[in-house]
Amino acid sequence: MRIPRLYQDFPLAVGVNVELDETAIRHGIQVLRLKPDDTVILFNGDGHDYLGRLTVVSKNHATATIESAIALDNESSLPTQLALGIAKGERMDYALQKAVELGINRLTPLVTERCVVQLDAKREQKRRQHWQGIIRGACEQSGRARLPQLDDVTRYADFLELALPGQRMILDPRSQQTLSQCARPQQLILMIGPEGGFTQTERAQAYQHDAVGVRLGPRILRTETAVVAGLTAVQTLWGDLNKRE
């Protein structure tokens, strides 16, 4: 049986007894039904996995003793920021989950002209908390020991004005250039639109800010499909999907 991995947002160290947080208890104890003396892997985003053993377990309380730690080196060799137009519920969740599994290290949710999701301040806060949970779960599942940065919801025009390290690339089905025709960037900012894609005006604005337009084949892809296809392509070309151990 695979050892469960649980994210904990506090310092971890060998020999320390820790109380698991509410989310870890809900998943580990109430869903996986872990018991005293079961082994768990804890991580907090510092690049290490901490092997621990449960000591006290009840419905709403659990503690573990950390017995050892191991440094992980499974982050992509291509630092990648995904700037993604906000899509509806499950599509956005799926896109975020797969983006984390495919190695992004930063996510910027974009408000674009064709976004159908409208967020006031209260809904935006709730969505960010939800998205953070998606990122946490994807890291637990995929074995990543560092959590990607989740930016605040950003308006498209404001995003273009940000001084960001890396080459902006915008997925544009009208572009004649493919990823394989582009030089490998040291850092990548991959821009993908929401349902309906970017408008002609938004594409023009991106090019005015030195973005490179690329297309992913001859077919129009859904937002969540474009995220998976685009990140798989860049990780294969320039990242670690074809890396030999």
Give the pLDDT of residue 118: 84
The percentage of the chain sitting over the pLDDT mark of 90, rounded to a whole number, equals 87
Higher pLDDT pick, 89 / 97: 97
Q: Is the confidence at residue 1, as pLDDT, over 80? A: no
Q: How many residues does the chain have?
A: 245
Q: Are 75 and 243 in contact (CB under 8 A)?
A: no
Per-residue pLDDT, 152:
96
Residue the block writes with tokens 């409208």 = 118
Q: Annotate 105-117 with b (16+ C-beta within 10 A) or e (fewer).
A: bbbbbbbbeebeb
Predicted pLDDT at 154: 96
| CATH of region 5-71 | 2.40.240.20
Architecture of domain 80-238: 3-Layer(aba) Sandwich (3.40)
What would the mean pLDDT of 159-167 be, rounded to a whole number?
94
Residue intervals in the chain for CATH 2.40.240.20: 5-71
How confident is residue 245, by pLDDT bands cut at 50, 70 and 90?
low
Mean pLDDT of 225-240: 96
Counting residues of the chain whose pLDDT is more than 70, the rounded percentage is 99
Residues of the chain with CATH 3.40.1280.10: 80-238
Reference 106, options 176, 54, 164, 171; nearest CA is 164
Q: Which of 174, 208, 206 is nearest to 190 (CA)?
A: 206
**Nearest CA-CA partner of 40 in 20, 10, 60:** 20
